[in-house]
Amino acid sequence: MSKATLTSKGQLTLPKALRDRLDLKAGDPIDFTIDEEGRIIGVPIIRDPVDQLVGSLHHLAKHKPVTVEQMDRAIRDRFSKGEP
């Protein structure tokens, strides 16, 4: 059994063996509930893998991001010039 101590800020550090077993990383969410016998149950929340990809390739972009309005304007400009 592993132990953790509550800090004055109400924080716990999960023991490394527990983090490793559950494959938890910094920032991973955990859902806590209390059962009928007063035991605390913590269950890691599995994030959608697609959500984890959002923004992960920004360093490969050759151009700065544009707004929807800028995209709409570029499309209108191109079609107004008769370009496909």
Nearest to 44 by CA among 64, 62, 21: 21
Query: What pLDDT score was predicted for residue 8?
Result: 96
Q: Number of folded domains in the chain? A: 1
Task: Look at residue 11 and tell me if it is in a domain.
Answer: no
- Give the chain's mean pLDDT: 87
Q: Look at residue 84 in the predicted model and tell me its pLDDT.
A: 63
Q: Does some domain include residue 61?
A: yes
In this structure, is residue 7 part of a structural domain? no
Q: Which domain holds residue 67?
A: 16-79
* pLDDT tens column, 13-51: 999 999 998 889 898 899 999 999 999 999 998 877 777
Give, in order, the Cα–Cα distances in Å from 24 to each of 2, 14, 19. Answer: 16, 10, 5
Read off the CATH number of the domain in which 72 is found: 2.10.260
